[in-house]
């Protein structure tokens, strides 16, 4: 007696393999995006150095601009993120990286997220935050209550 797989059994196996493959791809995409996030952390750290220099020269952060931080607040083909200064006062600045949805290094994303550093030069306090948003300029309100703290 010959034994073989039926067409129904083969179809079920193909469906199961397809489901497992799609789950694996979504996890792979998350890992790759987290690796791209390291670009933002590096650039924001550079912005922090510039903010500290500004603070040492002026005694406060009042009047600090994107130019002082070495960023242009636009997406460019050499970066996955748009970098900008968030809300600040004379002692605190938020250094932001918004993931580009167009105009940035390929691939762009369909739904943006923002990462930012909350920095107080006088004490050296640094907190990292990351949250999802679709607003045009999320760094006008980088409130910690809407963000998730990340190491």
Residue 134 lies in a domain: yes
Residue 4 lies in a domain: no
Q: Long-range contacts for 100-108 (Cβ within 8 Å, ≥24 apart)?
A: 100/75, 102/75, 103/74, 103/75, 103/76, 103/77, 104/75, 104/76, 104/77, 104/79, 104/80, 105/76, 105/77, 105/78, 105/79, 105/80
How confident is the prediction for the chain on average, in pLDDT? 79
| Total structural domains within the chain | 1
* Tens digits of residue pLDDT in 43-63: 999 999 999 999 999 988 888
Domain that holds residue 30: 10-149
Residue 2 lies in a domain: no
- The model's pTM is 0.70
Highest mean pLDDT among 1-5, 104-108, 122-126 belongs to: 122-126
Residue 99 lies in a domain: yes
Residue 5 lies in a domain: no
CATH number for the domain including 124?
3.30.700
Specify the pLDDT at position 98.
86
């Amino acid at each position: 007696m010959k034994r073989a797989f039926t067409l129904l059994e083969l179809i079920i196996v193909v469906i199961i393999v397809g489901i497992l493959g799609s789950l694996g791809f979504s996890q792979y995409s998350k890992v790759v995006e987290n690796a791209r996030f390291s670009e933002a952390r590096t650039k924001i750290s550079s912005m922090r150095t510039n903010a500290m220099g500004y603070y040492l020269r002026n005694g406060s952060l009042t009047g600090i601009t994107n130019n002082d931080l070495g960023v242009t607040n636009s997406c460019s083909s050499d970066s996955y993120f748009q970098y900008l200064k968030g809300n600040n006062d004379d002692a605190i600045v938020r250094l932001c990286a918004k993931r580009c949805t167009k105009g940035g290094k390929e691939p762009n994303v369909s739904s943006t997220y923002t990462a930012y550093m909350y920095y107080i030069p006088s004490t050296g306090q640094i907190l990292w935050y990351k949250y999802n948003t679709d607003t045009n300029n999320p760094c006008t309100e980088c409130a910690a209550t809407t963000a998730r703290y990340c190491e």
